[in-house]
Amino acid sequence: MDKAKTIYIYYAVLFAIKFTSGENPCLSKTTQCLCSNDRVDCSNGNITAIPSKFPSGTKQMNLFENNISYIESKTFSSMPALEDIILNNNRIRELLPLTFLELESLYDIYLENNQLSVIHPRAFEKLPKLGRIYLAGNRLHCTCAIKWFVAYLNGNPNLFNRTSASCSSPTTVVQKKVALLNASNLQCVLVGSLLALFFLLFTYAALKGR
């Protein structure tokens, strides 16, 4: 069998599998996404940005293994029925405030193996059914700015896999679990003391210059 015929049979079989599974191309022709009932599969599509429109009633959004580096706040707010968001193996660097806002049915967030260094306050706000967050394989920068996230994880002890997030920097906390950090680890006391000292010196200099 020649190579051309082999390739033809391969794609014919692949098409048949997708057709019989109920999956059909959806969203934009350039995204290579497939839709089946309440599921949208955009995995392995070399996507660089999350599509702006989704079928109504979508419960699972699979964006595994793409080149997404940025997610705007409220990106998924048009899908209130969403239960699972799969964003593993992308290049996401930060989570902005209100990224998952208005997703009251959301249960799973998969963010493993990205390049996350910053998770802003309120990134996981108003997610009453959230049961699992997967954050292993990222590059979290654990300074005092992440203190809110430590409190969030400890305030939700039933959150499955909450200890999967580890620090990559600074060197004093490398490989430490975020959920187990405290103010001393995060150098919050030191930062506060330096700010207080700076304020006193500034005040003294101002008074002396009068």
pLDDT tens digits along 123-180: 999 999 999 999 999 999 999 899 999 999 999 999 998 889 999 999 999 999 999 9
Mean pLDDT of the chain: 82
Residue 198 has pLDDT above 70, yes or no: no
Residue 92 has pLDDT above 60, yes or no: yes
Q: Which residue has the tokens 């990559």?
A: 168
Distance between CA atoms of 101 and 77, rounded to whole angstroms? 6
Proportion of the chain above pLDDT 90, given as a percent? 58
Band the pLDDT of 32: cuts 50, 70, 90.
Answer: confident
> Mean of the pLDDT values across residues 22-36?
68
DSSP letters, 164-182, are --BEEESGGGTT-BGGG--
DSSP 134: E
Band the pLDDT of 187: cuts 50, 70, 90.
Answer: confident
pLDDT of residue 209: 64
pLDDT of residue 54: 82
- Tell if the pTM clears 0.85, that is, is over it: no
Tokens representing residue 119 in the block: 């998770």
Helix ranges (H only) for the chain are: 3-20, 147-154, 188-208
Residue 20 has pLDDT above 50, yes or no: no
Q: Distances in Å between the alpha carbon of 151 and those of 68, 81, 114, 191?
A: 28, 28, 23, 18
Q: What amino acid is encoded at 179 in this protein? A: A
Q: What share of the chain is helix, strand, coil (3-state, %, to 5)?
A: 25, 15, 55
Domains in the chain: ranges and CATH: 3-208 (3.80.10.10)
> Mean of the pLDDT values across residues 27-56?
83
pLDDT of residue 199: 53
Q: What amino acid is encoded at 199 in this protein? A: F
| Cis amide linkage into residue 80, ω under 30° from 0 | no
Distance between CA atoms of 192 and 210, rounded to whole angstroms? 28
